[in-house]
Copies of this chain bind each other. A is one copy, B any other.
Amino acid sequence: MPPTHYDPALFHAELVEAGLILPTTVKGGYGRGAVFEDILEHFDTLVMREAADDGAEPLTFPPIVARQMIEQLGYLDNFPQLAGSVHSFFGNELQARELSERVKNGERWEDLLDITEVMLLPAACYPVYPVFSGLLPQGGRLVTVKNWCYRHEPSDEPTRLQSFRMREFIRVGAPDAVEAWRDGWRDRAMALLQRLGLPVVTDVANDPFFGRAGRMMATSQREQRLKFEIMVPVISEQNPTAICSFNWHQEHFTGTFGIRQAGGEVAHTACLGFGLERCTLALLKTHGLRPEAWPAEVRALLWP
């Protein structure tokens, strides 16, 4: 029985009431209860089981990334509104007392800070590309990562989080092989999500580029079919929520980081990512807030 209503505020309230999420004072920064997390972990395990034969190499990075990399990749041209820049205190005793006083008095204190060398990671795949620098092995490489991503878009809407986890696969190699890999995974991901009973649709998509120039970037990205998303109605039937995305970067990263095929030819990259909280929320919206009452075939996939 498909959901009959789509109301972000009501869905949020139901999730809280059921103990699935724990409200905090941070918009898009709620806690996840044990049942929510159990679904999320088992969904991720299912994806990894489906991908096992591909032999992706698992790498793990912290949720911070070099400021210089964010600058170099043009992130601040395209998505300045989503960036998270990390600042800290480098001062002496006197300045520390000033900081304490201002905090106590409820005054602004950020001018006493200075930038660190890091920013928050906006996409789980970013730290992987420098690892590929130089000549690739024959056939290229395939890596998987899971990480917390930060995007500054505070919202009361339960699927829009400031901090969320992505399971990503990143493929680097010959352009045709990379494009075929991305297209093949779109079919695999659609089939997997359909087996989980999710009413998925797929379409070309664009990233949330900033401003007027950004609208042209978005149009170009769509025309070149560089980004696809898989979507499920979670908070709206008309505007389904993207739970999985497929990006073909062509030479964006290989050019920046000097990555070439084994024989020196141009290499491309593509990545795909499952938004783990959004996949969890899509399952909860579609099948109800009590996983023990989900369809047997869905339960068998997630808790084999």
Evaluate whether A110 and B87 lie within 8 angstroms (CB atoms) in the complex, with A25-B69, A131-B22 already known. Answer: yes
Bound-state CA distance A99–B71 (Å) is 11
Contact B59 A22 (CB under 8 A): yes
Contact B152 A116 (CB under 8 A): yes
Residues on A close to B: CB < 8 A?
22, 24-27, 29, 31-34, 36-37, 57-66, 68-69, 71, 76-77, 80-91, 93, 96, 99-100, 103, 108-110, 113, 115-118, 120, 127, 130-131, 148, 150, 152, 154, 161-164, 210-212
Q: A34-B58, A83-B88 are in contact. List 9 more A-B contacts (CB 8 A).
A: A26-B65, A29-B65, A33-B59, A63-B148, A71-B103, A76-B103, A85-B87, A86-B120, A116-B154
Provide a sorted-by-A list of 29 A–B residue pairs whose CB atoms are within 8 angstroms: A22-B59, A22-B131, A24-B66, A24-B127, A25-B68, A26-B64, A29-B64, A29-B65, A31-B59, A31-B127, A33-B59, A33-B60, A34-B57, A62-B163, A62-B164, A64-B150, A64-B162, A71-B103, A80-B99, A81-B90, A83-B88, A85-B87, A85-B113, A86-B120, A86-B150, A87-B87, A87-B110, A88-B152, A96-B210
